[in-house]
Structure 1
């Protein structure tokens, strides 16, 4: 298993792409110059930021160049004048990475970030070698805001750690209700299950085994819709699987993408 590395602060870049301003957090790996190395790019979900990806980012950065993006309107980035469709967020991801010289990469999206990741893989399929969808949304059998809110409430009450809840809800406050609700409408209208059928890259659908937002049935159906899909469940956690089980998730991403971890150690527990 991977060992939790010493904390290193990623370098932040403020990048304008596709007509919008966002932030990209970059960690260059000591192993990144090895032949065949690629980059891994992490995308947050609705209302969130790179902060709840930071544990996963740090683990991956020991083995591969790692990029976490705060999309326009989220985290500390300026809010666009108009609500952005999923396609515009995908265009920002691709444009910002191109400016940084990252032309081929593994793309990892969490929750609504999985929608941005799918759309990016459709816009420029030659650049994305592998696609990882963590806790993907939205199940077409549960397409109401009330159903999604109920599932998220159950998750935060019963299946999240205090630290994951603190990260998510402080980011929600920073996002603000107006921008959150506008983006929520975009999220609810995007048919991930239909769009994924056009993705040519291998797809890993990854969920916490207790996740009420991305249910087991929905993730199985989504995996079956992908041309080259596989499903992985991580025991003992809910929707924010990448924070609460970061070691297992990092290992799964590296294994799926065929990237050799920089080090393997005896599993280490991490307190919430």
Structure 2
């Protein structure tokens, strides 16, 4: 069984719960942690399988945002940028200086916004099942897609999703739905300086191929991976395959990052120069 520590972080009166699973004790190539951020109505629970797989590579933090699961419901409105700021500040409080940000569904909006707010924090960003398709940006279209997805998910995935929906409650769900519908993810992705991995299940009716391909092409350094036969909650139903792709992406981009480090006179890497305009 995984050793996991639950910590509660207060940021400006908002409660963020973070479950931390340590990585390998003596890794051959130490890597910064993975940070998992859930989507609308959800909690860390549908990341549990992925968290276990990623912990074989590095430390993993799974975040429960305010109002979700057991976290108290905020009395004030929180938009996408607000949630992103809470993620950034919570990680700072935990001493996380850099990481791989991984979001699912609405969580991709939070991690994209967090990477824009704190570029030094995000070494790379992983967008799993990204929403909302700019050509399907209505509540009805999204509701129909989610309903369709239910018939493609495993019983265990549906059980987690609907129990988390019940725990979150209809009122908080609806309050967060409108900010999600309005957030222009495609514009955020265009502004990211870090590498971006877009992932989707090959049978995901929510994050469709055309939309996922568009996001990949809009990114300055983008890559698209599709997991055949899987639906929207692909990180639960195909956790091992998803983790393998994320780890490969982290390894590849870390090597590229090291390759651009200037060399010191003794041949060791020097300090990374910020060459952004």
Q: Take 1:18 and 1:91, find their aligned partners in 2: how far apart are those partners? A: 11
Q: Determine helix, strand or coil for the equivalent of 1:138.
A: coil
Q: Does structure 1 residue 116 correspond to structure 2 residue 110? A: yes
- Offset, 1:35: 5.0
Q: Does structure 1 residue 246 correspond to structure 2 residue 239? A: yes
Once superposed, what is the RMSD of the aligned Cα atoms? 1.4
Q: Take 1:57 and 1:39, find their aligned partners in 2: how far apart are those partners? A: 11
- Offset, 1:140: 0.8
Q: Does structure 1 residue 103 correspond to structure 2 residue 124? A: no
Q: What is the match of residue 55 of structure 2?
A: 61
Gaps of 5+ in 2: 253-277
Q: Does structure 1 residue 39 correspond to structure 2 residue 33? A: yes
Q: Take 1:220 and 1:70, find their aligned partners in 2: how far apart are those partners? A: 29
Q: What is the match of residue 197 of structure 2?
A: 204
- Offset, 1:166: 0.3
82, 86, 89: which is aligned to 2:83? 89
Q: Determine helix, strand or coil for the equivalent of 1:37.
A: coil
5 Å-filtered alignment, 1:1-272, equals: 7-31=1-25, 36-157=30-151, 159-258=152-251
Taking a change above 3 Å as real, the CA distance of residues 96 and 184 of structure 1, as seen in their structure-2 partners, is: same
Gaps of 5+ in 1: 1-6, 260-272
CA deviations on 1:231-261 (whole Å, 9 max, x unpaired) are 00001110000000000000011000008xx
Runs of 4+ in 1 over 2 A off after TM superposition: 30-36
Alpha carbons 1:241, 1:249 under 8 Å: kept = yes
Taking a change above 3 Å as real, the CA distance of residues 248 and 35 of structure 1, as seen in their structure-2 partners, is: closer
- TM-score, with length taken from structure 1: 0.90
Q: Determine helix, strand or coil for the equivalent of 1:125.
A: coil
Taking a change above 3 Å as real, the CA distance of residues 129 and 224 of structure 1, as seen in their structure-2 partners, is: same
- Offset, 1:195: 1.3
Taking a change above 3 Å as real, the CA distance of residues 249 and 18 of structure 1, as seen in their structure-2 partners, is: farther
Higher-Rg member (1/2): 2
Q: Determine helix, strand or coil for the equivalent of 2:102.
A: strand
- Offset, 1:34: 5.2
Q: Take 1:114 and 1:32, find their aligned partners in 2: how far apart are those partners? A: 31
Q: Take 2:48 and 2:97, find their aligned partners in 1: how far apart are those partners? A: 23
- Offset, 1:75: 1.3
Q: Take 2:98 and 2:39, find their aligned partners in 1: how far apart are those partners? A: 22
Q: Take 1:28 and 1:183, find their aligned partners in 2: how far apart are those partners? A: 31
- Offset, 1:227: 0.8
CA deviations on 1:128-164 (whole Å, 9 max, x unpaired) are 101000000000100110000000000011x100000
CA deviations on 1:67-93 (whole Å, 9 max, x unpaired) are 000001101100110221111111111
Q: Determine helix, strand or coil for the equivalent of 1:188.
A: helix
- TM-score, with length taken from structure 2: 0.89
Give the aligned length: 253
Q: Take 1:33 and 1:23, find their aligned partners in 2: how far apart are those partners? A: 27
